[in-house]
Amino acid sequence: MDAALIHRSPVVSSVSFASKRRRRWRRLVAWREIFREACFGLYHHRFRAALSMLGISWGIISVVILLAYGDGFGGALDAGFRGAFSDGTVVAWPGQTSLQAGGERAGKRVRVTADDVLAIGELPLVKNVSPEFMQDFPIVYGNRQSSHLVRGVAASYGVMRAERPQAGGRFLEEEDVRLRRRVAFIGTEVQRKLFGGIPPVGETIRVGGQPFEIVGVMEEKVQLSNYNRPDKYCVFIPWTTMGGLSENRYVGTFVWQAVSPMLEPRALVQVREFLAKRYRYNAADTRAVNMHGSEENQQVVSGIVGGLKLVMTFIGVLTLAIGGVGIMNIMFVNVQERTREIGVRKALGAKRHEILLQFLLEGLATTFAGGVVGIAVSAGLVWLLSPRPFLAELLDDASRVTDIHLLLSVKLVAVTSTILMVVGLISGLLPALKASRLDPIEALRYE
């Protein structure tokens, strides 16, 4: 008995192997059949299928363009604001007290000395700080003269306010400030007015009658927000040197930067408390020393951009959904028209899932083809349409970074494809389910 068992077992396994292979073969044939049916269905109604495909492509194009526009809109605003301030930078200007403090009435002018400004740099949450003195001076180079805003600042100002030097020059350095050097960093408009085509670095200009050597020229700067004047119209000199030109005991403004942008609100409290204690006013008095942080700008910008993106996504996704609905609609029609055929196939032994697969495949193929065409076309359109005019004309920005640049990013394609997949599945599945659930007898009788 044991021997018989031993003898028989390979036979059993070979039978099961053969049947497995046969089953796999059958499945393959079935798949091929399903695939052929789907293709045939599409081919038979090619005009219909083409129109549905067009719907999907159209939907994809509008999703891509809308989302890209939203991204570009945010990018342009970001470029405009980032151009002026590094993250976490706060501009402060002393004002007047608006609350009573320590027996004193409100309305006392607050004057902050440069030393106290520098002391703010010692606070744990503050990374950089610079006093800033601003005054208009006549600037003379050779026989050319024009009036410009001169800003007396520290070396760290360059980092905080994103003042990038053109090649061959530099911003002010610590040494310049410490040694009270007569050096200047100038904006592009100042260069244009005074120098024309001559390279300015190393040249000497007269600021309020005193000679200053130019150490650097600013890169073209696009600035969406500014105080007093955009930076390209300004001359920057060490604040210590400014003393020779005008009174520099009390700062007009000062700029400081939090250790990280996230910590800006907490650093703000710290700076306020420090100044309130030093100048004896109420720490809750926000108008004694006014502060405007880049975070505030960011919030306004992200509010607008977020809202716009939301609208865009909403519209885009639903537009694609229309394409999907179009496919679903046509698939339902197909199912209805082919009710008889389905009846016949079922009567001949076709399984429910085979019918389902056939119609699902038809829907998916349409969606997929439409999607691929749509993405290809939108890639072309994005390239063709970009950049859309936005802020560049307003800011006289020759580089056009503040226009809306449409970009087909990987993220965008991933998002669109995901939506497409969901749309395709839903719009293919519902009609396919309907087809697979048809009662064969009823279907055969259908007219």
Partner 1 sequence: MSEAILQSVQNLRANKLRSCLTMFGILWGMISVVVLSATGEGFRRGNDKVLRELGKNIGIVWGGRTSLQAGGERAGREVRLTLDDARAIAAESSMIAVVSPEIERGAVKVKSAYNAAAARVTGIEPQYQDIRTIELEYGRSFTWQDEEQVSRVAIVGFDMAEQLFGKRNILGETMTVNGMPYTVVGKIRKKNQDSNYSGPDNNKIFVPFAAMSRDLPRRDAAPGTLSDIIVAPKDWVVDELPRALDARTGRIEDVDWPLERNVRAILARRHGFDPADTQAIAMWDTSLQTLMFGRMIGHMKQFFTIVGIVTLALGGIGVMNIMLVAVKERTREIGVRKALGATTATIQRQFFLEGFFLTLLSGGAGMMVALGLCQLVNLAPMPERFSGMILSWQSGLLSLFTLIVIGVATSTYPARRAAELPPVEALRFEM
Task: Give the binding site for partner 1 (CB under 8 A).
Answer: 47-48, 51-52, 54-55, 58-59, 62, 65-66, 69, 95-96, 98, 100, 105-109, 138, 145-147, 189, 287, 300, 303-304, 307-308, 311, 314-315, 318-319, 321-323, 325-326, 328-330, 332-333, 337, 388-391, 393-394, 396, 398
Cβ nearer to partner 1, comparing 110 with 125: 110
Q: Whole-number minimum distance, CB 358 to partner 1, in Å? A: 19
Q: Which is nearer to partner 1, 51 or 415 (CB)?
A: 51
As measured in angstroms, the least distance from the Cβ of 69 to partner 1 is 7
Burial pattern 210-244, b for ≥16 Cβ within 10 A else e, equals: eebebbbbbbebbbbebeebbbbbbbbbbbbbbee
Tell me the C-alpha distance between 187 and 30, whole Å. Answer: 74
Residue closer to partner 1 by CB (options 216, 324) is 324
- In the complex with partner 1, the residue whose CB is nearer, 118 or 308, is 308
For the CB of residue 320, give the shortest distance to partner 1 in the complex, in Å: 9
Q: Which is nearer to partner 1, 121 or 252 (CB)?
A: 252
Nearer Cβ to partner 1 (181/405): 405
Shortest Å distance, C-beta 340 to partner 1:
8
Minimal distance, residue 29 CB to partner 1, in Å: 29
Minimal distance, residue 87 CB to partner 1, in Å:
21
Q: Which is nearer to partner 1, 41 or 158 (CB)?
A: 41
User: Toward partner 1, which CB reaches closer, 34 or 406?
Assistant: 406
Minimum distance, C-beta of residue 15 to partner 1, in the bound complex (Å): 47
Nearest approach, Cβ of residue 334 and partner 1 (Å): 9
